Structure 1
Amino acid sequence: MERTLCAIAIVALVMCLAMTLALAFIGYQYQKLIENGNGNKPSAHKLVKDVEDNENNLQELPRKEKVCLTPGCVKAAAELLKNMDETVDPCKDFYHFACGGWVESQVIPDDRTSVSVFSVLQDELNNKLRGLVEKEPENIEPSHITSMRNMYKTCMNLTEIEEVGNKPLLDLLQKFGGWPVLEGSNWNESNFDWLNALIHFRQNGFSHDLLLDLSVTPDFRNNTRHVIDLDQASLGMPDRTYLLRGLNDSAVRGYFKLMVESAVILGADREVAEREMLDALQFETILANYSLPREERRNISLLYNKMNISEIQKLAPNIDWHKYFNNLLNEPIPDNEDIIVNVPSFVRKINNLIPETKKRVLANYMIWRVVLQSFATLGKLWRELAQEYNKVITGQDREEPRWEQCMSSLTGSLGIALSSLYVKHHFKGESKDMALDMVNYIHREFLRMLDELDWMDKQTVDYARAKAKAISSYIGYPEQILDDEKVGKLYETLNLTMESYFDNVQRLRKWSTDYAFSQLRKPNLKGDWRKHARAAVVNAYYNALENSIEFPAGILQGSFFDKDRPNYLNFGAIGFVIGHEITHGFDDRGRQFDKDGNNRNWWDHKTDLKFRQRTQCIIEQYSNYTVPENGLRVNGINTQGENIADNGGLKEAFRAYRKWVEDHHEEAMLPGLKYSPDQLFWVSAANVWCGKHRSEVLRLRVLVGSHSPSQFRVIGPLSNLPEFSTSFNCPKASPMNPELKCSVW
């Protein structure tokens, strides 16, 4: 501990003295004094004199003892020292060794559910975006930027939102025939038709996915075209598993209270609201029971059931399917139109449920979902009610600042306009070239790994190589988002004004659905710039239908990437992410698509069985992890895709870094740190997942998330990699070097 404090002190001293090259060398000299057992701290004058005397001697040190003295290295060293807890044995718990200091120093703000390296970078990005959006334009600007500013300003105008109160919502409810729980005996049951209600919702910018989910997507088996997709209903709670627990569950009780209080705020009698909303909740629970669990939705082929209207009519004869499709879609469709039905059993059951359900119950539930979608557009009372529910679900104690809420309203459908503004002002182009070089190294390493596999037959390996070679990379942003004319054309039918936030939200929702449905008759163009234009996000993606990987401008900075620090840190951080996304093409879901992005089986049967055996090892490994904050076990089935990607991606990134060293040179160590470049690669990789979460949101992540909690994204992959144990000399059978190791790629 004393040694660590001294190292931190000297790094701080170096930074305080402007982090010049000469004074950075003090960090190295001071560390050597500590290693030699000299506890007397030399004077700054003496150290500067030593720098002058020994400046050239540094170049004569053996390669392994060289220390990087640039400002970028000093900054990186300080950050790593701050993040780490060197009192923890890296061979026992590498997550807390690498992230313990970071976790200990973090306090989750009342308006947050967690803090993480991702969220810290996202906060920095949001502040930049806020500055751009709130800044008054200096010149005449494109209409899509004006619309975006209008959306933000009306969202921030809480005075207007409070003044209009509930009137915008109440007016719409009357337009929809009224909410039975409010209308009482005045509600006209004979005028209610569930399908007409859905159509009215769709026309006014509300979701039409309350009983069945209708969308237009690329055809999974012929992705040059778009196709209609019919799926099970969306739900008001985050996942069906909540509803199945019933009112004994605190989250379901919170949801039920949300339903009741919403009705009371709008004028319902409380006793009536409790009775009728309970019926609505029970109806939604039936929908949850009919829905296919996430664990059963990983096999893409089971979700691909091609039918036409006549066949769907036979499956569910109680529903007027011509009316359903022809009024919800942008234009009528012929009887022989291909429609992909994801879960035929759900469609068949909903066909029987609707006529068996009282119209009052059905209407109360459907209108409730309209009210739920309106919370964010209404006044303070509604936000407080939503916050009370959010606290039960996520542990968040206070709503986030209004400007952050308003910024979130821009990042969805207006994300391309926002990204255009961001890239023009903030993104540094050289990061793009360096990231592409790393992608190439890691990509080539994955191909080498395929050649070394002993469990795949040659034909399947050849297919895998062909798919890997065909992966397209999208880094930073497409050049088109700098072209105001091209971006403007995307938004040419959208007009957001300064008049009403409620109306703006509804216009934007309807425009977004209209745009998505307008793709039905258009070809699906791979590489279409609009699919890769959301640059202002801290995330990365693999697209199975395009067989592409994407690293937006927002993630090419901060803890993930810095051109001024050693490459072992970059390969450990963004390199890990790059390898992760490449491996997604070969996880349990990605492998179901061929090199052209079509759902086609290219696996030899025996090799397929071996893949499943190896995947089962991963499933069981992660299923045995227990989240200490809430005692829940990780769902190894739902997280298997991300876990496979983590394990393969980290392995690729390390091998790629070692290859980079072969091609270039061994890199210098960091000042004030005793760890080798290889060891710091692993620390950097772990630092990507440093996080601190409330127990409630961890519960939510375990129940519905596809990612394992942070610590297991570090412990899991590292304990499977012999290269890691070699770097830290971890004894056999130690926690980070178990005898049983899982490996897919």
Structure 2
Amino acid sequence: MLLLLKISLIFLLNSAFHPVTAYSVRNFRNIDAESMNLTASPNSCDDICLTRGCIITAAVILEKIDENLDPCDDFYTFSCNRYINNTFIPDDQTQIDVFVETHEKLQERIKAIITAPIDDNEIEPFKNMKRLYRACMNKALIEERGLKPMTDVLEKEGGWPVVMGGTWDGSDWSWTDTQIHLNKQGYTAEYLFKFKVDNDYKNITKYIIRIDQPNLQLEREQFLEEFESQTIQDYHKYQVDLAILYGAKRICAELQMREVLEFEVKLARIVMTKEERTDFNNLYHLMSIKELQAKYPFMDWLNYFNSILPDVSRVTKDEIINVSVPKYLEDLGRLLENTPKRTIANYIFWCLTSMSSSFLSQDARNLELEYMKSATGQLEDEPRWKECMNYVSKSYSIATGALYVRKYFNHDSKETVQDMMDMIKAKYDVILRSVEWMDDQTKQSALLKLKNMLTNIAYPNELMDDNKLVDYYGSVTVDETKFYESLFNVQKYSHEQDLKDLRETYSKSDWKNWFGAAVIDAYYDLTKNVINFPAGIFQGRFFSHDRPAYMNYGAIGTVMGHEMTHAFDNQGKRFDSDGTLANWWKNETMEAYIEKENCIKTQYGNYSEPTTKLYLDGVNTLGENIADNGGVRVAYQAYQKFVDKNGPEKKLPGLKYTPNQLFWISGAQVWCSVYRPETIKQSIETSIHSPGQFRVLGPFRNLEEFSKDFNCPKGSPMNPVHKCEIF
């Protein structure tokens, strides 16, 4: 009885550390001693963990799991059904999952930092973060200024033709001059093509200019739908309404924005498909600027580059650049030649104004929200403070990360996480050595790639050095009375710094190449063979110091394995141990790989999402599906190695599951998700990731270890006879 009282007190005292959120109908009062099976004899508790962390962890699992279901039928629903049924989506959100919930907690912490008064002793980057946030929160001043920040830009560029009507004079207007001017003001004007400084795929230490096709306002496949489709109708309505807001007459807006839409459809028809772009060999075509000019003479390329590049990066006609998609430039030249200036100008200024709506007055934001309602189901804007927090975090990502890790990050976690990563990496080495379909030469190259893989954990030490931060942000300024201009002033500075890299030598160890620290994400850079794990993700459901290792290996460990597997997925396989684009595969081994890859492609392509009845795109999601399968496998095996080294772990109170079973439950509950219908539809049609449920069902069905731990009969839904496996 005393034991039960102690447990209840611990649980109640610590409910403050795990508050009820806005997302879920969670009633901790219902999780009593009886429901958690804590009424057993004390002698039977020797293998049960009764620490505060274990009790909270057990409660979190019980919030989500539905033990009335058979785990061998549908493990995702078994693991997540209570969460799915008891979770509602706030009007300002399009979906709720662990990533969203963890991001909410991160935002609250960053808010506490940025809303603190400016200290005279703070370095300028920290002061500017707070100034930018204040400028963003000053809605009265933003409303007073209305659309003027944008109309001032339009006026300098000759005006938006659809708004000016017959008074627009395009005789002296040049789309190249307009893109130059916009780029120099901090807008990444990549509406017709991308221009950036990037790593040379075949000489990773060198930076090079890269020209590529643009990111369109919609996905290519969406633009190719019939005009009568709901997607296109909603998009076109937004185009017309925004033009009218800026002063266009409706009849002009409907006619001219239809011409813009038709131009966008033509652009969609000439861009390279996603599937073609997965092979980076298709995106590597070196030529001099002189050759570029001769092949694609529809603009003065040398003048364009030198008008945007800072002085230190100026180029000559002999500069070698990478033209990612030559066919696109060839087709673009013909398209521009046959398109009226008015349509091109309307297109560029449509892209510019629609991109800027979020930063302007409420009338522009309302039109954007109306469109988002139809596209994603989002019903209202985020609270203003969250929007402003996101703008600041993105504009000052390094400074935000520095403040976050200084105040909130448990620095002891860095060593723990590094140990986990080392364990997973060592187990991946074992897995690669055991692959039977891979010849010895290819296997050695794969092992070398794994060995040379750099893992950046949490944050670089330079974030603790104020002088480094001051040098990084230079002389960029923020005016609290001009949010819009200040935001793009920061972007302008950042863009200039990126362009200066052209004359630098790339180094993997350069701290400025790290991902931002205050981010809920992880990322593998295939062109550098580097994994970034920001400090922000090491919290909440992903990682905790005070819970058993099987929970961490199932959650963040699976994410680690996922990112590691990207080095060998359908895109990563084309880059060697240095991150150089190179073929290190024997032909027969590549053929075997493709056969196994096709198994994954077919498996996921046959999955149908139950609410929309849409089939997944097994091609577009292939890389992420391969990573999901490899990630959970290596994390599980690494956990077994952990147990061999440290001994068996205790179970959780109130749960009948073994540590191995809890690993799988932890891994599954990371993907518990609730989507709006519009969002899940859009995700299936456009995202490279499969929806949450298939990130559980797909990999777990392929793993014998899962079926063994849950005693799933052969031929049951979670233990199919035919399984897919690459590594």
Give the TM-score normalised by the residue count of structure 2: 0.94
Taking a change above 3 Å as real, the CA distance of residues 397 and 193 of structure 1, as seen in their structure-2 partners, is same
Among 11, 16, 32, the alignment partner of 1:15 is 11
Among 429, 435, 449, the alignment partner of 1:447 is 429
Q: Displacement, 1:201? A: 1.4
1:244 matched to 2:224? The reply is yes
Are the counterparts in 2 of residues 587 and 645 from structure 1 also a CA contact under 8 Å? yes
1:210 matched to 2:216? The reply is no
User: What is the aligned partner in structure 2 of residue 227 from structure 1?
Assistant: 208
Q: Displacement, 1:139? A: 4.5
Q: Which moved more, 1:628-637 or 1:378-387?
A: 628-637
1:579 matched to 2:561? The reply is yes
Taking a change above 3 Å as real, the CA distance of residues 598 and 68 of structure 1, as seen in their structure-2 partners, is same
Task: Name the SS for the 2:37 alignment partner.
Answer: helix
Are the counterparts in 2 of residues 27 and 671 from structure 1 also a CA contact under 8 Å? no
Amino acid at match of 1:295: E
Q: Displacement, 1:681? A: 0.5
Task: Name the SS for the 2:505 alignment partner.
Answer: coil
Q: Displacement, 1:512? A: 2.2
Q: Displacement, 1:258? A: 1.5
Are the counterparts in 1 of residues 515 and 532 from structure 2 also a CA contact under 8 Å? no
User: What is the aligned partner in structure 1 of residue 24 from structure 2?
Assistant: none
Q: Which moved more, 1:8-17 or 1:173-182?
A: 8-17
Among 139, 144, 165, the alignment partner of 2:125 is 144
Among 238, 249, 264, the alignment partner of 1:258 is 238
Taking a change above 3 Å as real, the CA distance of residues 368 and 30 of structure 1, as seen in their structure-2 partners, is closer
Runs of 4 or more, structure 1, over 4 Å off, are: 8-14, 26-30
Are the counterparts in 2 of residues 147 and 495 from structure 1 also a CA contact under 8 Å? yes
Distance in structure 2 (CA, Å) of the matches to 1:277 and 1:683: 51
1:640 matched to 2:622? The reply is yes
User: What is the aligned partner in structure 1 of residue 157 from structure 2?
Assistant: 176
Task: Name the SS for the 1:511 alignment partner.
Answer: helix
RMSD of the alignment, in Å?
1.9
User: What is the aligned partner in structure 2 of residue 121 from structure 1?
Assistant: 102
User: What is the aligned partner in structure 1 of residue 28 from structure 2?
Assistant: none
Task: Name the SS for the 2:195 alignment partner.
Answer: strand
Among 336, 350, 360, the alignment partner of 2:342 is 360
Amino acid at match of 2:37: Q
Which structure 1 segments of 5+ residues have no match? 1-7, 20-25, 35-49
Q: Deviations over 1:698-733 (max 9, x none)?
A: 122222211110000000000000000000000111
Q: How does 1:614-693 map to 2 (within 5 A)?
A: 614-693=596-675
Distance in structure 1 (CA, Å) of the matches to 2:402 and 2:574: 34
Q: Which has the larger radius of gyration?
A: 1
Amino acid at match of 2:709: S
Are the counterparts in 2 of residues 28 and 67 from structure 1 also a CA contact under 8 Å? no
Are the counterparts in 1 of residues 244 and 253 from structure 2 also a CA contact under 8 Å? yes
Amino acid at match of 2:595: Q
Taking a change above 3 Å as real, the CA distance of residues 207 and 474 of structure 1, as seen in their structure-2 partners, is closer
User: What is the aligned partner in structure 2 of residue 604 from structure 1?
Assistant: 586
Q: Displacement, 1:17? A: 7.2
Are the counterparts in 2 of residues 11 and 78 from structure 1 also a CA contact under 8 Å? no
Task: Name the SS for the 2:502 alignment partner.
Answer: coil
User: What is the aligned partner in structure 2 of residue 295 from structure 1?
Assistant: 275
Amino acid at match of 1:720: N
Which structure 2 segments of 5+ residues have no match? 16-31
Among 61, 68, 92, the alignment partner of 1:111 is 92
Q: Deviations over 1:229-255 (max 9, x none)?
A: 100122222x11111114322222222
1:161 matched to 2:161? The reply is no
Amino acid at match of 1:657: Y
Q: Displacement, 1:13? A: 7.4
Amino acid at match of 1:436: Q
Are the counterparts in 2 of residues 211 and 232 from structure 1 also a CA contact under 8 Å? yes
Q: Deviations over 1:341-373 (max 9, x none)?
A: 111111001111112111111111111112112
User: What is the aligned partner in structure 1 of residue 693 from structure 2?
Assistant: 711
User: What is the aligned partner in structure 2 of residue 40 from structure 1?
Assistant: none
1:282 matched to 2:268? The reply is no
Amino acid at match of 2:335: L
Distance in structure 2 (CA, Å) of the matches to 1:101 and 1:430: 34
User: What is the aligned partner in structure 2 of residue 3 from structure 1?
Assistant: none
Count of residues paired in the alignment: 706
Q: How does 1:236-635 map to 2 (within 5 A)?
A: 236-237=217-218, 239-331=219-311, 332-532=314-514, 534-635=516-617
Taking a change above 3 Å as real, the CA distance of residues 330 and 211 of structure 1, as seen in their structure-2 partners, is same
Taking a change above 3 Å as real, the CA distance of residues 646 and 30 of structure 1, as seen in their structure-2 partners, is closer
User: What is the aligned partner in structure 1 of residue 23 from structure 2?
Assistant: none
Amino acid at match of 1:16: L
Are the counterparts in 1 of residues 357 and 364 from structure 2 also a CA contact under 8 Å? yes
Q: Displacement, 1:655? A: 0.7
1:85 matched to 2:66? The reply is yes
Task: Report sequence identity in percent.
Answer: 39
Task: Name the SS for the 2:478 alignment partner.
Answer: coil
Q: Displacement, 1:628? A: 1.5
Q: Deviations over 1:164-193 (max 9, x none)?
A: 112222222111011111111111121111
Q: Deviations over 1:531-568 (max 9, x none)?
A: 22511011111121221222111111111111111111
Task: Name the SS for the 1:215 alignment partner.
Answer: strand
Distance in structure 1 (CA, Å) of the matches to 2:72 and 2:278: 34
Q: Deviations over 1:200-232 (max 9, x none)?
A: 211222232111111111111101011101001
Are the counterparts in 1 of residues 456 and 532 from structure 2 also a CA contact under 8 Å? yes
Amino acid at match of 1:31: N
Distance in structure 1 (CA, Å) of the matches to 2:362 and 2:640: 56
Are the counterparts in 2 of residues 93 and 736 from structure 1 also a CA contact under 8 Å? yes
Taking a change above 3 Å as real, the CA distance of residues 731 and 587 of structure 1, as seen in their structure-2 partners, is same
Amino acid at match of 2:79: A
Distance in structure 2 (CA, Å) of the matches to 1:740 and 1:527: 44
Q: Displacement, 1:148? A: 1.1
User: What is the aligned partner in structure 1 of residue 678 from structure 2?
Assistant: 696
Amino acid at match of 1:361: T
Among 184, 187, 196, the alignment partner of 2:177 is 196
Amino acid at match of 1:230: I
Amino acid at match of 1:284: E
Task: Name the SS for the 1:124 alignment partner.
Answer: helix
Distance in structure 2 (CA, Å) of the matches to 1:125 and 1:33: 37
Are the counterparts in 1 of residues 36 and 655 from structure 2 also a CA contact under 8 Å? no
